[in-house]
Amino acid sequence: MQRRALLRAAALAGVAGLAGCTTDGGGSGGTTDPTGSPTDTPTDRHTPTPADEPNEGTPTRTPRGNGLIGSAFEVVDRGCGTGRNTVDITFDGEFVRVGGVIGGDNACYTAEQERAEFDYREERLRVAVRSYRRGDADACADCLVDIKYAAEYAFEGRTPDEVVVAHDGEAVVTATRASTRSTERTTTG
């Protein structure tokens, strides 16, 4: 019985959390009044131009149907430490999982994924993570901080042959699918 109550509360919290996501962000709550007169003819017609068409020999989709179809990044812990950089990469079916620690200058620092780019020609995923000072931070503990994060990348088909992870613009580790799992590499500074 308690499990049902917990699930019901979680569902209601999810609906309540999404309620604010349905407005246009301008504070007006949107409007239902039409701003123009309806038309039966499409107004958005696109005629391909030579610049829109792929060059001869350029693939228009990824080979074997592979492609990055989703990603998630989350900071899971922050605290005073050594300011170290570590990365562990796991290839698991159609997922690549990255767990890491990136250093920050003081306790006001956190981390974010700058980008995740999949190059289907080279079968390589490049992930860039950066540490930065939070804008809402005022008083900060004066210590090097270790920021632990977890990321997951979903692929259509199979995972890439290689994954490269960089922290603050510097490559930390490269792993290949053939190895199934990377070896953790630690750098400080």
Domains of the chain, residue spans? 63-178
Tell me what pLDDT residue 5 has: 43
Question: Does residue 15 surpass a pLDDT of 60?
Answer: no
pLDDT at site 180: 53
Distance CA 118, CA 171 (A): 16
Average the pLDDT over 10-31 and give the result. 43
Whole-prediction pTM? 0.62
Reported in sequence order, the residue ranges of 14-123 that DSSP labels E, i.e. its strands, are 67-80, 84-92, 95-104, 109-119
Per the prediction, the chain carries an average pLDDT of 73
For tokens 């199979």, what's the residue?
158
Task: Provide the pLDDT for residue 189.
Answer: 52
Spatial strand order in the sheet of 95-104: 67-80, 145-156, 95-104, 84-92, 185-188
Query: Which range is least confidently modeled, 55-59, 158-162, 172-176?
Result: 55-59
Q: Order of strands across the sheet with 124-133?
A: 109-119, 124-133, 162-167, 170-176
In this prediction, residue 138 carries a pLDDT of 81
What local confidence, expressed as pLDDT, does residue 72 receive?
Answer: 97
| pLDDT of 66 | 62
